Amino acid sequence: MDIVLLGPPGSGKGTQGSLMAEQLGIKLLSTGDLFRGILEDEAHPLYPQVQVVKDGRLVSDEVVNLVVKDGIQKPEYKNGIIFDGYPRTIAQAKALDEILLEMGRQVDLVINFEVTREVLFFRILGRLICPVCKQVYHKRQGLTRCSNCGTELVNRSDDNEEIIEKRLQEYQDKTAPLHAYYLSSPAVYITISVDDASLSPAELNNQIFEKIKEKGILLAK
């Protein structure tokens, strides 16, 4: 099964994508992680095109499509993919359809994460990440080290108000139109509200699977 996660930055789709990937036995493909990997290697041929993300801007569709097409050819993605951070535009969505069609596949499920602006800023400005295993935490948890590997937690360099504003505007301008695109596609489409800050990731995960079940899709955790 191939699943697309939609939602603004900080909506929690990355955390839920990781949980679902583990539960379903498929791989999570995060363009954010792919980009950060490239930014750590200035000799990478795509470094000049990808470095615009440091300013909160989006990488061109052509470059993103090349990165994704190359990435999903790897054997670990043969059983299905959860796409986090891709596609971001209609052009990318059409490119993904073509890429998957060549593989005899299609987008089967789209999960849209809805969240208010206030909750987004609270989530993002308090976000901490493990630089080794990429586990995401929040300052309200009171942790300073990763519970998985013990590495000291850090703030992401792009988690500041100015860059968040740019990313949200980019999302509204370029990514929001994807909702209509996928609503008119063969994919099953569900919407999840993530405004309730009291919900744990596990509780939200249960809500997602209940929504999927309501659509007649049975996924075994």
The question of whether 13 is a catalytic residue gets the answer yes
* Omega of the bond leading into 87 within 30 degrees of 0 (cis): yes
Asked if 191 and 115 touch (Cβ cutoff 8 Å), the reply is no
Structure tokens that stand for 220 in this block? 């075994």
The question of whether 36 is a catalytic residue gets the answer no
Residues near 93 by beta carbon (within 8 Å), at least 6 away in sequence: 87, 178, 181, 182
For residue 181, the number of C-alpha atoms closer than 13 Å in the C-beta half-sphere is: 20
Residue carrying the six token digits 């990781």: 18
- Of the candidates 187, 188, 2, 186, the one whose C-alpha atom is nearest the C-alpha of residue 79 is 2
Radius of gyration of the chain (CA): 17
The question of whether 213 is a catalytic residue gets the answer no
* Phi, psi of 179, rounded to the nearest 5 degrees: -60, -45
The question of whether 88 is a catalytic residue gets the answer yes
Residue among 156, 166, 174, 211 flagged as catalytic: 156
Q: How far is CA 79 from CA 63, 75, 118, 195, in A?
A: 25, 9, 37, 32
Q: Could you tell me how far CA 5 lies from the centroid of its own chain?
A: 6
Residue among 36, 69, 94, 127 flagged as catalytic: 127
- Of the candidates 160, 158, 215, 196, the one whose C-alpha atom is nearest the C-alpha of residue 39 is 158
The question of whether 127 is a catalytic residue gets the answer yes
* Catalytic residue positions, numbered: 13, 88, 127, 156, 167
